[in-house]
Amino acid sequence: VYPKASSITNFDEIRRAPFPSFTIRGRMVLASIKFQDVFLTGQVETHVVDLDISVTRVMDILIGKAGQQGQLAQFMRFKFVYCGRELEQGSSDTLRSMGVVPGATVGYTIVTPPVTVTVRTADGVSRMVQADVTASVAMFKQRVAQTFGVPPQAQRLVVWGSEMSMDNAPLTSYAVTAGATIQLFVTQLQSAAPRTPPAASTVQVTSLTTGETKPIVATTMDSVANVKTRTGVAFNVNPDLVRLFFNNVELSDDCRPLGMYGIGPGARLGMQQNQEITVTVADLMGQTKWLTLEHTESVESFKAKVESLFHVPVAAQRLVYKGRQLSDDDATMGSYGIDANAALQLIERPTLVTVDIATLWGQHERVEMDLTESFGSFKTKIAAIFDVPVAAQRLILAGKELDGTDATTMSSFPIAAGTRLHLIERPSPIPSTGSSSSSMVSIHVATLDGDAATIHTSLDDVLATFKAKVATALDTPVEMQRLILSGRQLSDDDQATLRSCGVHADDRLHLVKRIKPSVTVAFNGRSERVEVELESPISKLQALVEERFHVPVAYQRLTFRGQTLDSGRLLDWYNIASGDTIELTKKPKTASLELATWRNVINLADVDLTSTVLDLKIRVTILLQTPMPRLQHRGQELIDDQTLVSCGIQDGDRLTLLDRNQTMTVRIKQPSGDSLTLDVPPTTSVRDLKDTVAQRLGIQDVQTLRLAYAGIWLTEDQSPLGSNGISHDAELQLRFLRPPTASVVKVHVYTLSKRVTVDMALDGTVATLKALAQEALGVSVSSQRLFFGGQAL
């Protein structure tokens, strides 16, 4: 990273420096990641990305791809799912910190966030209505009916001077966007009297279970959903489980008013409490199915239903609800907070996995395991490979022996692909007589907690073998063991024998556990020690701090020696050692923000950081008396349904107002030092800006132009300027891909210690340039890597 890359105006400053000074941020790991549309098409796209970029940046890449294909990229938002967990957007978390590895497949779905439009009647009454721009006009009319009480068949909606007459058409076909104003005209229904507000009345609702009857206040324009809510309050039941009937017909459409069912004042309705709820289950291939269940139903019973529909064995199922896995088969579905219309994610865990089996005598084998097979069957397979009888086998996982009957399935153990199991052969009984008894001795091991065990071993065994036996007997992992003999620690060389360490028969060893690395967290005069690995990310420490101090991660600010810790980095990146003290401060829930408009800067006081971006936009709309605005923070446009704190907004930050109807000023710095000033909308694409620059400068071939902003080349021609973080009064650098006249140029080739100049034709190949560099520098072609403009040739 060049230190002044964000403010540099002349890139020749870097090129002229014989030894430019750079800062090493960390090794860039370019990896091939597959992105699969798991909701609609199932299409898989492969992108080569840096694992240290954020999820938000990945979303920008996919939006740019969709824009090139002519899709409605401005309405798109992506939800990413990896290993059953939704990747958070808007945060500084990187793909690497979230566990994404090279070659992984990340599933995504395209969602369209709701927008807010203004619906205005002929009487001048205006109300804000949320709508999905991809939804049909008929669905939008249902929302208008709930807001104004006007039946859909009596509505005439007009936007941009055109009537929205096709109920099946999406709102995007009428160019409905956020902040649009839609006119509502009420037509006279056939054989209808002059429209007057319906008078409040009551209907009688009778429980079909108990026979109890209660009056419910309702009008003919009240929706079925409103009546269900009032009925639930009256009968003290969950409104989601209420079913209403009139003349033996169920009122199934919650959006329809009572009058459309012919229900008037004094009508008698039947009420039945639905004991079952309906949920949706979707797999990663986009297949979605509806299932009914009861709150008291066990997870194991529900998985059996899923198996019958998706043909996925229970052992291979991972059900996820709101990021939480339904792991306890004996628990009820209600204990996980699952309610009506809940959406569950089904992830098929592969039943065939490969595990590593390691023995104490150094043999390593990769064994294929079927998670549905029995424990006894797997031991038989191990016996055939390692020649260890089933009865003598002890399989160790993470320091604990796998304990189960021969009928236990392997899926009941926490085993996944790549898991390492240690195979220990049970020692044969020590004979009371004979010459072989002299080879086996007893060593007594005691811990500081008072636990003790006697280990039968040979003095010629290496420490690694002896420690493995100790781990089994005293449940202490090998890496945490310190063995003390007569006040002296045994050798750190695990290949040394007990005899060479001075151990004799019937000696007593003291087992001391190595202290886990930990840091001290100080908060409001209170300090606590938190055990955490120094190779762990800051986000893991934040989760532990939340458990200890009950401060949500969103409001934590961790500082070490005056430096704020970034959740995407590791502890040892900040040179934090075991025992260091980290300060915890609580971020304020309210903040003062600056709003930069095209004319001035406005201070916004007492902003609740837990509120959504949409709430802030409504406040700005009321303050400035403008349509619904677009807000930008640090070059990224804010999304309506995200909270301000999840967008990284803190006290004192500045937001930028992006007016849809105005332009912004950008300056184009030419290689000669002259600047060209242009007024363009933020939605202008990079290619349109290049065309404008070429026209103003009289350049015939647009392909020779390259633009850069903040040290980054603008390579995506179809991406808008706003998505590249370009805002008002930004300065872009103009470079020519090749001089328009000369056919042969002088190319300067730099190494760390030399510089040579070669004559090169512009239509020559990179291979030719490498051959010339080999003659001048003596570096073989196979050892060369050439870079130009930050990119490898």
pLDDT, mean of residues 383-405: 82
pLDDT greater than 50 at residue 341 = yes
Q: What is the pLDDT of residues 416-439, one digit of tens each?
A: 777 888 888 775 444 444 434 347
563 is a domain residue:
yes
Given strand 155-159, what is the order of strands in its sheet? 126-131, 115-121, 181-186, 155-159, 162-163
Instruction: Determine the Cα–Cα distance for residues 76 and 58; give it in Å rounded to an integer.
Output: 13
More confident residue, 75 or 43: 43
Q: State mean pLDDT over 338-362.
A: 80
For residue 196, being part of any structural domain is answered with no
Say what the pLDDT of residue 738 is.
Answer: 55
* CATH of residue 310: 3.10.20.90
Q: Do 29 and 103 belong together in one domain?
A: yes
Is the same domain home to 255 and 285? no
Residue 755 belongs to a domain: no
Question: Which amino acid does the sequence have at 251?
Answer: L
For 495-536, what is each residue's pLDDT tens digit?
888 888 888 888 888 888 777 788 999 988 888 988 888 878
**Amino acid in position 740:** P
Indicate the pLDDT class of residue 42, thresholds 50, 70 and 90. Answer: low
Residues 499 and 536 placed together within one structural domain of the fold: no
445 and 414 both lie in a single domain: no
Mean pLDDT across 293-312: 85
Res 194: pLDDT? 46
Q: How many CB atoms lie within 10 A of CB 593?
A: 21
Q: Which of 127, 162, 186 is the C-terminal boundary of a domain?
A: 186
Contacts for 475 with CB less than 8 Å, ≥ 6 apart: 399, 400
pLDDT for the residue numbered 431: 44
Coil, strand or helix at 648 = coil
Whether 504 is in a domain gets the answer yes
Residue 502 and residue 534 in one domain:
no
Q: What is the pLDDT of residue 572?
A: 81
Q: How many residues does the chain have?
A: 793
The two three-digit tokens of residue 219, written as one number: 């009008």
**435-463 per-position pLDDT tens digit:** 343 478 889 898 877 788 889 898 888 89
Mean model confidence pLDDT for the chain: 79
Rounded to 5 degrees, φ, ψ at 185 are -115, 135
- The secondary structure element, H or E, covering residue 734 is strand 730-736
pLDDT at residue 318 greater than cutoff 50: yes
Nearest in space to 292 (alpha carbons), one of 278, 282, 313 = 278
327-352 mean pLDDT: 81
Report pLDDT digits (tens) over 567-582. 878 888 888 888 889 9
Same domain, 562 and 527: yes
Same domain, 283 and 269: no
- Alpha-carbon span 309 to 345, nearest angstrom: 14
**Alpha-carbon dihedral sign for residues 485, 488, 489, 490:** negative
Q: What was the pLDDT predicted at 69?
A: 46
* pLDDT value of position 559: 92
Q: For residue 267, give its domain range.
A: 202-273
Q: Are residues 360 and 415 in the same domain?
A: yes
Task: Return the minimum-mean-pLDDT range out of 245-254, 666-675, 765-774.
Answer: 245-254
Q: Looking at the structure, do residues 672 and 637 belong to the same domain, yes or no?
A: no
First to last CA, the chain: 19
Q: Are residues 54 and 98 in the same domain?
A: yes
Rg of the chain over all Cα atoms, to the nearest angstrom: 35
- What is the sign, positive or negative, of the torsion defined by CA atoms of 185, 189, 193, 199? negative
pTM of the model: 0.25
Q: Which of 236, 253, 273 is the last residue of a domain?
A: 273
Question: Is residue 73 predicted with pLDDT exceeding 50?
Answer: no
597 lies in some domain: yes
123 contacts: CB under 8 Å, gap ≥ 6: none
**Helix ranges restricted to H, 454-597:** 463-474, 538-549
In a domain, 449, yes or no: yes
Statement to judge: residues 259 and 285 lie in one domain? no
Pinpoint the alpha helices (H) of 69-167: 137-148
Pick from 87-91, 381-385, 408-412: least confident = 87-91
**Overall domain count for the chain:** 9
How many angstroms separate the CA atoms of 90 and 101, rounded? 21
Q: What is the pLDDT of residue 635?
A: 65
Point out the least confidently predicted range of 324-328, 379-383, 674-678: 324-328
The CATH number of the domain holding residue 54 is 3.10.20
DSSP labels, 251-274: ---TTSBGGGGT--TT-EEEEEE-
Establish if 57 belongs to a structural domain: yes
Last residue in a domain, options 568, 586, 604? 586
Taking residues 697-703, report their average pLDDT.
80
771 in a structural domain: no
Alpha-carbon distance 765 to 489, whole Å? 64
What is the identity of the amino acid at 589? K
Residue 676 has pLDDT above 80, yes or no: yes
What is the CA 584 to chain-centroid distance, rounded? 25
pLDDT over threshold 90, residue 34: no
DSSP assignment, residue 441?
Answer: E
> What CA–CA distance (Å, rounded) separates 304 from 351?
17
Q: Are residues 506 and 562 in the same domain?
A: no
| Tally of CB atoms within 10 A around 189 | 11
